[in-house]
A and B are shown apart, each in its own frame.
Chain A
Amino acid sequence: QKEVEQDPGPLSVPEGAIVSLNCTYSNSAFQYFMWYRQYSRKGPELLMYTYSSGNKEDGRFTAQVDKSSKYISLFIRDSQPSDSATYLCAMRDDKIIFGKGTRLHILP
């Protein structure tokens, strides 16, 4: 089993819909959980981070961590065409590991 699993997509949803992006992981030592957004031909940029379990909300974005299930999620409410990008989950104990990313398309 790979350390971090993420569905590559692509995921296409209509504008205004709620988007759910997910990752599973195998290493129970991970403590920090992050979501990065990467636009085409650009570097990733940090969107949200969470320490240990729980929820965190920032505007239209909500990050959830369920350590008991080794499962993390990113929800995007009222999705916009500008949200179209690749979303990478990342997590770390002493070293950061990235998922391969999910390509998201928001259809106008």
Chain B
Amino acid sequence: DAGVIQSPRHEVTEMGQEVTLRCKPISGHDYLFWYRQTMMRGLELLIYFNNNVPIDDSGMPEDRFSAKMPNASFSTLKIQPSEPRDSAVYFCASSLGGQGGNQPQHFGDGTRLSIL
């Protein structure tokens, strides 16, 4: 079975450019999560969706970040304009039925983003 698929795996771009990260969740999963991981702050939840509807975006750092889920099989995280402090590994995860515990989140392999 295919897991969570993220693209691109690596992205290097200059400050001020628009960055779009993509995620295909596991088929049938009804929750989708976007995380950011850095050495300093660890793994932080940015936003999550239930049945394609954003439920909690309180972790989105600022208005430069936006996320959409137009259908059950696709989500995007966009940064516009990008800044060097946005450099991190961004993970997408999906689950069936919730945030964790007995509903494990399945993570993709992440997008390593570098903003120069």
Which residues in A have some Cβ–Cβ distance to B below 8 Å? 31-32, 34, 41-46, 49, 51, 88, 90, 92, 95-96, 98-101
Contacts and interface: CB of A to CB of B under 8 A. Distances in A.
Contacts, number: 53
Contacts of A99: 42
B102 interface: yes
A49 B93 CA distance: 17
B6 to A, nearest CB: 8
Contact of A44 (B43, B56, B99, B102): B43
B99 A43 contact: no
Which secondary structure dominates chain A's binding surface?
strand
Nearest to A8: B39
A41 B109 contact: yes
B45 A95 contact: yes
A51 B43 contact: no
Interface of B: 4, 41-45, 56, 91, 93, 99-102, 104-110
A98 B42 contact: yes
A86 to B, nearest CB: 10
Contacts of A41: 109-110
Given A42-B109, A43-B110, A49 B43 contact: no
Nearest to B59: A95
B100 A96 contact: yes
A3 to B, nearest CB: 11
